[in-house]
Amino acid sequence: MKNNMQHWHGSLLLITLLILAACSDNSSQSTASPTEPVQPIEKTTAAEPQAVAVSSEPSADGIDSPLVFSLTDLDGNTVKAEDYRGQWLVINYWATWCAPCRDEMPELVKFQTENADQVQVVGIAYEDAEVQKLKNFAQDFNINYPLLTIDVYNPPGFAEEGGLGLPTTIVYNPEGMRHKKHMGPIDAEGLLEMVQ
């Protein structure tokens, strides 16, 4: 029994020492997480100027300057924002799995049909899907406007906010400047109000 008691006290002492070692403040150890690479600390002095990258070019997102993009449609053709200058451009961000997107598709088709002389609707598929799946969707819904694809894992700057909630519709005026934004499904009447 005395032997078991000594073994138990020895184990308790060992566990206590391990806990204390793990909890001790050892400032020489890194506090970075195991998944983050440790970056060396760069020492600077007040006399050293810090370079800051500042672009003198305005972004081409339709807010600071006219919208500029070059994307691919479902047939592999290049479509550019500049192709629609002089018309209102309605960009609708959608996905095949999005029920509200599916519900508003007939309204977008109706709106494009009724306003084709002054407005161009463009759909941007905000999903990682095969082109054939998107073509089948377009055929099922009788889409009468261009459907474009983007890399949803690295979307162009102007399209980033389109993926924040689907569907999202952003309207650009005939000069290519952003006019209005609507999140959620919209009908033809609401679209007409957006281009006024």
Residue 65 has pLDDT above 90, yes or no: yes
Over residues 144-187, the pLDDT tens digits come to 999 999 999 999 999 988 888 999 999 999 999 999 999 999 99
Peptide bond between residue 167 and the one before it cis (omega within 30 degrees of 0)? yes
Whole-number percent of the chain with pLDDT over 70: 70
Read off the pLDDT band of 59 (50, 70, 90). confident
Amino acid at 144: N
| Spans of all domains in the chain | 70-194
CA–CA separation, 87 and 179 (whole Å) = 13
Query: With respect to CATH, is domain 70-194 assigned 3.40.30.10?
Result: yes
CA–CA separation, 186 and 48 (whole Å) = 55
- Cα angle, residue 85 at apex, residues 94 and 101 outer, rounded to 5°: 10
Q: Model-level pTM?
A: 0.70
User: Contact 176/81 with Cβ under 8 angstroms?
Assistant: yes
CA–CA separation, 142 and 140 (whole Å) = 6
CA–CA separation, 182 and 46 (whole Å) = 48
Of 29-38, 61-70, 116-125, which gets the smallest average pLDDT?
29-38
